[in-house]
Amino acid sequence: MQRHLLLVGGGHAHVEVLRQFAAKPLPGWRLTLLTREAMSPYSGMLPGVIAGLYREEQALIDVRALAARAGAEAVIDRATGIDLVAKRVHRAGGESRPFDLLSLDTGATPDTARVPGAAQHALPLKPIDALLPRLRATLDAAPARIGVVGAGAAGVEVALALRARLPASSVTLVAGVAGVLAGFPDKARARVAAALAARHVEIHQGEDVAEVVAEGLVFPRGAPLALDAVLWATGAAAPAWLAETGLERDRAGFLRIDERLRCIGRTDIFAAGDCTSFDPQPLPKAGVYAVRQGPVLAGNLRAAAEGRALRPYRPQEDWLVLLSLGDRRAIGTRNGIVMGGRAAWWLKDWIDRRFMARYQGP
């Protein structure tokens, strides 16, 4: 009898799983991808899309086509729950799907719940697939005053991309108490601060946003900041539907996984990427981890299907961070070394295009 391997979410780890199953099928198993959108955005190129350096389709992976190459059925729908006893995944628009083996790579959601008004008045960067159509409208309207709340890597890149795309608009990066690029090496922070100043991106810091209103941002003590558009680039939150699954979660609601990428207490359910919390050590919510988990996940799903031993995922200790400055320049940092300029952009562009080519081609 055929057994079912069900992949939920077309995230960065699952595209690699599909690629590997396309190269080497899994006999005796029926493969299904259940994902919200047929086109999965690659976040590394999103700032380049905003800046106008890439067309939108260059930053999108056609997961339906990728699934077809892997011999998988693609179901374009939203998972809403899991029945752990019947071993079925519920979805919004149709009949639930069975699984013998299940893997979840559904990403995170924006952290808008903590600040009143953010969900109503701000445009969250995550999920990116929901962002793109709304972003198009914002860029076309070319608002005079734009604010980007959250000054981690994504917020910095998006602020600089907006600056490049909308030269007549004022762009303010709202960095809060943490400041710009908290946790990055001082040398990289100084270099990025200089790049922001040179491009006339205003910085607002020292206070976190208390409320988002139709007219802009309100702070606990300081003067409000009048804005015509607000982008929300603060940390990631766990998708609400995971709470209903009965799977083990951490305090923030992310799925707890072991070093072999299995959900805690399960041998038949795996998970990867931003929707997870890696039990052996805390990991940042960053695409590089989902990408590196991809090959281990693919191997472990195959091993689990064939009853073989699984291998552990060992997170990289440091990685090259390349921040796009929006104008074909970038700043890169790894192991405390900082590089910048056109060469850094060239490297970023080359890495991103190479990544996309793995999943876009026949």
36 binds ligand FAD (CB under 6 A): yes
CB contact at 8 A, 272 and 261? yes
CB contact at 8 A, 191 and 113? no
Q: What are the φ and ψ backbone dihedral angles of 47, each rounded to 5 degrees? A: -60, -35
46 binds ligand FAD (CB under 6 A): yes
238: closest CA among 111, 332, 143, 97? 111
30 binds ligand FAD (CB under 6 A): no
108: closest CA among 87, 93, 129? 129
CB contact at 8 A, 356 and 16? no
9 binds ligand FAD (CB under 6 A): yes
Tell me which of 126, 165, 262, 292 binds ligand FAD, using CB under 6 A. 126
- Please choose, out of 16-24, 34-42, 135-143, 304-312, the segment that lies near ligand FAD by the rule CB under 6 A: 34-42
Report d(CA 79, CA 81) in Å as an integer: 6
Which residue, 19 or 219, is less far from ligand FAD as judged by CB? 19
Q: What is the CA radius of gyration of the chain?
A: 21
332 binds ligand FAD (CB under 6 A): no
Tell me which of 179, 202, 241, 327 binds ligand FAD, using CB under 6 A. 241
286-309 burial, b if ≥16 CB within 10 A, otherwise e? bbbbbbbbbbbbbbbbbebbeeee
Tell me which of 5, 51, 53, 125 binds ligand FAD, using CB under 6 A. 125
Burial of residue 46 (number of CB atoms within 10 Å: 0-12, 13-18, 19+) = buried
Which residue, 172 or 234, is less far from ligand FAD as judged by CB? 234
Which residue, 60 or 310, is less far from ligand FAD as judged by CB? 60
CB contact at 8 A, 230 and 100? no
290 binds ligand FAD (CB under 6 A): yes
Which residue, 16 or 258, is less far from ligand FAD as judged by CB? 16
Which residue, 219 or 314, is less far from ligand FAD as judged by CB? 314
Q: Point out which residues bind ligand FAD (CB under 6 A).
A: 8-13, 34-37, 40, 43-44, 46-47, 78-79, 105-107, 125-129, 154, 157-158, 239, 241, 273-275, 285-288, 290
